[in-house]
Amino acid sequence: MGLVDKGRMPAPLTKLFNMSRSYSLWVYQWGLACCAIEMGAAFGSPRYDVMRLGVIPLPASPRQADFVCISGTVTDKMAPAVRRLWEQMPEPKYAISMGSCANCGGPYWDSYSVTKGVDQIIPIDVYIPGCPPRPEALLEGIVLLQQRIKNEDMAAKWRGEEFTSLQTTRERERVANQPAAVEPVAAREPIVVGGGPIE
């Protein structure tokens, strides 16, 4: 794919790639605490059945996973393992942080042994609030992640940039072509479930 090597991809091709990627996600379940049970209910139970969304749970190792669902309390002792897991995953990779503990420390906001927010260690794409979030909330988070993937500018990813949406790229091009200085657009905006419309 010469186009890809040059870092330029026609928009229809990007769309096609993104759609295929977003409906064949292997998820690595990094269940740490109580939220892991709700994650298990979402991924493993017949009532919620995550596979209809095109998400396949239980890869054999993080090296085969497309995104990781960090659910539960990350403690300071666990943090290096989480970082190592993230580094083992191949690009393109995404992360969902499930539960207040993983988002910000949750009920342990003043504990001496809890890492307040897994986003101190790895970049997070979708935050799911709740203690624990219902399985439906996790499913919505996954749908939002899929929408985010569908909107991603693959060329920017190949250039090694952070997550850039197609809209951001278009905006940047417009700004670059304009002579007047306009405020740069923030590249990476995380999505919060229930936090208003997404791009």
The token pair at 46 is: 């017949």
Site for ligand SF4 contains 100 (CB under 6 A) = yes
Which partner from the list ligand SF4, other proteins, none does 99 bind, CB cut-off 5 to 8 Å by kind?
Answer: ligand SF4
Total residues found in the chain within this entry: 199
Q: How many CB atoms lie within 10 A of CB 156?
A: 20
Interface positions with other proteins (CB under 8 A): 30-34, 36-38, 40-41, 44-47, 73, 75, 77-78, 81, 85, 107-108, 110-114, 131-132, 134
Site for ligand SF4 contains 117 (CB under 6 A) = no
Which partner from the list other proteins, ligand SF4, none does 77 bind, CB cut-off 5 to 8 Å by kind?
Answer: other proteins
Which partner from the list ligand SF4, other proteins, none does 52 bind, CB cut-off 5 to 8 Å by kind?
Answer: none
Looking up tokens 């790895």, which residue turns up? 122
- Applying CB under 6 A, which part among 93-101, 112-120, 165-173, 183-191 lies near ligand SF4? 93-101
Q: Which of 19, 31, 34, 79 binds ligand SF4 (CB under 6 A)?
A: 34
SS3 content of the chain, % helix, strand, coil (to 5): 45, 15, 40
At residue 44, φ and ψ (nearest 5 deg) are -115, -5
DSSP string, 11-27: HHHHHHHHHHHHTSEEE
User: Cβ distance 182 to 165 under 8 Å?
Assistant: no
Q: Which of 57, 72, 117, 141 binds ligand SF4 (CB under 6 A)?
A: 72
Site for ligand SF4 contains 101 (CB under 6 A) = yes
User: Cβ distance 114 to 75 under 8 Å?
Assistant: yes
Which partner from the list other proteins, ligand SF4, none does 114 bind, CB cut-off 5 to 8 Å by kind?
Answer: other proteins
Site for ligand SF4 contains 33 (CB under 6 A) = yes
User: Cβ distance 138 to 157 under 8 Å?
Assistant: no
Shortest gap between Cβ of 31 and other proteins (angstroms)? Answer: 7
Q: How many CB atoms lie within 10 A of CB 150?
A: 17
Helices and strands counted in the chain (H then E): 8, 6
Q: Which of residues 133-192 bind ligand SF4 (CB under 6 A)?
A: none
Site residues (vs ligand SF4, CB under 6 A) = 33-35, 72-73, 99-101, 106-107, 131-132
